[in-house]
A and B are shown apart, each in its own frame.
Chain A
Amino acid sequence: MTINIPMTAAGAVLTMLTLSVAQAEDGYEAPDDWPSPMVEHNMAMALFDRLEYAVPNKGDEALVWDFEAWYGGDVNRVYLKSEGDNVQGDGEDAEFESLELLYSRLVADFWELQGGIGYQGGVFSDDHAERTYGVVGLQGVMPYGIETDLALQVSDEGDVSASVEGEYDLRLTQRLYLQPRTEIAVAASEVEAFGVGEGLNSVRVGMRLGYQVTRRFAPYVGGYWEKQYGDTADLARASGDATEDTGVVAGVRLMF
């Protein structure tokens, strides 16, 4: 794993961010030692959109996370995103399905263009196959309030894949919400080590019912259905896994 690349990139991005937080040019003849009348603040935020225990019908139980954090101003930000799971009882380490460091720029009122690098593989060990990749994405809110994350990945081997995630909050009461979500993955080429086939890989649809104890803490329960297609399904079958599964989840949405 080439951890030094992300670190260098992070350093570069942070430098850019610092430079971009400039104050308005004076022009009103204030002495140099006076402060600016208004100071902008950089912000930081971290969110476990999902931190849940999944109990599938056929597969193994797993602890699953979907995390993102950012630091920066209104327009330029650095994101750290990760999704992954720790399959219970397989004797193996937790696995990053993705661990990404991204530079993000607000390109429209509701949309951020993001680009950076990612890693897929074991969290602490080499239990899992590893690869690094470059990623370009678009994150934002579609009309009708659908939270969307589109990403295109190119691996260090030149393999191209893409994913789209959509999520919507339907407010039942001021604190109780129903959240349908979907994830679709496609790939341009087969990568056997990661169980990725050419074409449509998988579709996952879920529904969660959450309760916002506070705006930052919402426990939820839910269920999902997932199915693998084409070559991806063949690869799953070959390794003895189910190609279609349903499951239930219980977890929390946590925001810091």
Chain B
Amino acid sequence: MASSSVITHPLSRRQILKGGAALGLGSAAALGLRPSWANPWGRTNAYAKGVEEGPEVALAIRRESLPVAGQQTHPISINGSSPGPLIRLKEGQDAVLRVTNLLDEPTSIHWHGLILPPGMDGVPGLSFAGIAPGETFTYRFPVRQNGTYWYHSHSGLQEQLGHAGPLIIDAAEREPFRYDREHVLLLTDWTFEDPMSVFRNLKTAEGYYNFQERTIADFFADVREKGFAATAEMRGMWAKMRMSSRDIADVTGSTYTYLLNGHSPEENWTALFKAGERVRLRVINGSAMSYFDVRIPGLNMTVVAADGQPVQPVPVDEFRIAVAETYDVLVMPEDNTAYTLFAESMDRSGYARATLAPREGMAAEIPERRQIADRGMEAMGAHGMAGMDHSDMESMDHANMQGMDHSDMESMDHANMQSMDHSSLGGMSDERNGMKASGMLAAGAAQPGSRYDQAGIGIDPDARRTLVYRDLKAFTPWTDRREPGRELELHLTGNMERYMWSFDGKKFSEVTGPLHFDKDERLRLILVNDTMMEHPIHLHGMWMELENGQGELIPRKHTLNVKPGERVSALITADAEGSWAFHCHLLYHMDAGMFRVVKVS
């Protein structure tokens, strides 16, 4: 497997050898089992002189028999491994990436988060025609940024088959933080089912993968805790809306094996360190559908970059990573003990796990898993706002006050009440102060209805320090400080029953023409989530500056998580002429229609 790719793709050989060196000779089997970049020793120094991996890389895409979680299966491989190899470029290079399609269907690679010419973005039908079977497409672009990114197929559902990998760009100048060693942690969700049948299951049988639905037992437990009236009222509201408060993930651990660097929790991939070292973890969520909550019990983490962009350090115990986001965190293990890298799926149906240890073969305790949470008012309000009359609203508040005052739900409800008040009752006085004569908020101001101070469903903010969007501050202000010239509001919409997902109620197949940005205009994009699910919204070709109230230190991202019922805004400098994809990065949501084209001209 690995050896064959060495022979047929000489350009990838260096990378494989480099990764494999630390494993020693005779570890060919091990090479096949783990992506070649998943070197347990990581890199001792990211500023190693003579970064050689780029600028020219050749990648061969195949469908081949490989083991995943100890079971032989048929993923898509890139240079013989699935997920694919680490691509390492350096800021300032002119990258030349030759991608050869050895599949029997068209393919593509999109360089997620990279600012590059539109023809090199890798979206079939927008950037280029795609890569036909047997063809090689050469991507050429100047590398004008640095940080932690990833790449993946933008063709059909190929990403679900492991057609993804990390993309790391070393900085041309010194980064604002120092470290002794780095590890890349790529999270993915693997299923042994055919991705098309996963999609069909979602389309034809609602709740197909949810084996954590509420049962009669939950009802009686709630009655004991909250009384019959409050429980009946709450459940009645959900039932009336024909929705499930346990609808947290569409595809769950019932079919997914959550992988970390291509390895299942049982395989326990190990990242090595020496006590006292400062270790940079480049965490990438390359999942098709799964949000994760990442923590390392016993270690404090310091978030230093988000979506590849440096941020002011944020000390945390845990962070939620939406699909397609990346976070860089620093940890400093002082002792020669093992630590568990624990990434629990948002719906608590499973987890990915690896070990951070001073030597191979060690393991630390796996933390106790949390129970699935029930969605609260924010999700219900979001979905039902249009059709709900006053009596419903009253009973909602009522139930909210009485019924849901327990454990981790409490904080959510609080926040909920706040956000509901903001959006529906006009409690906007503080934000109004920042309003411009144009009637728009000042650049960087948080929209009413945003919940940047919450990590989201299933997180108890009192249990540990959890990263929230409010914490993100750019390390240095970005250059374009203009006020937005206009606002573009888009609603995230869906029909859960039919598994239809869309923007403004229209699937991609139903819209006529692209969204238009004027070249070089500065605009505000407002995303309003009218559904009860989270959506990681990704814009190609341009940064989105998240207006989280941090003033001139507005952070920029390529993927924005929008929670149920939330209103999120971002400033965009439309400096990239061309047609760009704009979509929900949940693979099956995108495929179900949550996709638009942005045309900058």
Contact = CB atoms under 8 A, between A and B. Distances in A.
Interface stretch (B261-269, B306-314, B566-574, B589-597): B589-597
A112 B106 CA distance: 36
A240 interface: no
A74 B129 contact: no
Contacts of B240: 143-144
Given A30-B126, A35-B124, A174-B215, A110 B497 contact: yes
A170 B497 CA distance: 18
A110 B384 CA distance: 13
B509 A37 contact: no
Interface stretch (A18-26, A52-60, A86-94): A18-26
A237 interface: no
Contacts of B593: 38, 40
Interface string B562-601: 0000000000000000010100000000110101010100
A36 B125 contact: yes
Interface string A226-256: 0000000000000000000000000000010
Contacts, number: 109
Contact of B125 (A37, A109, A170): A37
B129 A35 contact: yes
A178 to B, nearest CB: 9
A109 B201 contact: no
Interface in A114-162: 141, 143-145
A21 B106 CA distance: 22
A38 B508 contact: yes
B500 interface: yes
A34 B204 CA distance: 30
Contacts of A174: 211-213, 215
Interface string A14-51: 00000001111111111101111111110101000000
Interface string B239-265: 111100000000000000000000000
Contacts of A255: 204-205
A27 to B, nearest CB: 3
A43 B579 contact: no
A28 B126 contact: yes
B125 A27 contact: no
A27 B513 contact: yes
A74 B498 contact: yes
Contact of A35 (B130, B510, B591): B130
A8 interface: no
Nearest to A43: B203
Nearest to B512: A25
B199 interface: yes
B129 A31 contact: yes
Contacts of B192: none
A35 B125 CA distance: 5
A174 B215 CA distance: 7
B139 interface: no
B474 interface: no
B509 A30 contact: no
A31 B215 CA distance: 53
Nearest to A40: B509
A143 B243 CA distance: 9
A172 interface: yes
A34 B129 contact: yes
Contacts of B236: 144
Contacts of A38: 125, 508-509, 590-591, 593, 595
Contact of B498 (A26, A36, A106, A143): A106
A28 B599 contact: yes
Given A25-B512, A29-B579, A143-B241, A170 B213 contact: no
B282 interface: no
Interface in B190-209: 196, 199-201, 203-205, 208
A30 B125 contact: yes
B130 A141 contact: no
A114 to B, nearest CB: 15
Contact of B495 (A26, A40, A45, A109): A109
Contacts of B597: 27-28, 37
Nearest to A142: B242
Given A29-B579, A30-B579, A38-B591, A172 B215 contact: yes
Interface string B215-244: 111000000000000000000100111100
Nearest to B580: A28
Contact of B500 (A26, A39, A74, A110): A74
B511 interface: yes
B514 interface: yes
A2 interface: no
A37 B199 contact: no
Contact of B509 (A24, A27, A43, A143): A24
B599 A27 contact: yes
A140 to B, nearest CB: 9
Given A144-B239, A171-B215, A24 B510 contact: yes
Contacts of B591: 38, 41
A98 B242 CA distance: 29
B205 A215 contact: yes
Nearest to A141: B242
B18 interface: no
B90 interface: no
Nearest to A215: B208
Given A24-B510, A110-B242, A37 B124 contact: yes
A173 interface: yes
Contacts of B512: 24-25, 27
Contacts of A29: 579
Contact of B213 (A31, A34, A171): A171
Nearest to B126: A37
Contacts of A141: 242, 497
Nearest to B511: A24
Interface of A: 21-31, 33-41, 43, 45, 74, 106, 109-110, 141, 143-145, 170-175, 215-216, 255
11 contacts: A26-B513, A27-B512, A37-B595, A39-B156, A40-B509, A41-B591, A106-B498, A144-B240, A145-B242, A171-B215, A255-B204
Given A37-B123, A110-B497, A144-B236, 8 more contacts: A22-B509, A27-B599, A38-B509, A38-B593, A74-B495, A145-B242, A174-B215, A215-B205
Interface of B: 106, 123-126, 128-130, 154, 156, 196, 199-201, 203-205, 208, 211-217, 236, 239-242, 495, 497-498, 500, 507-514, 579, 581, 590-591, 593, 595, 597, 599
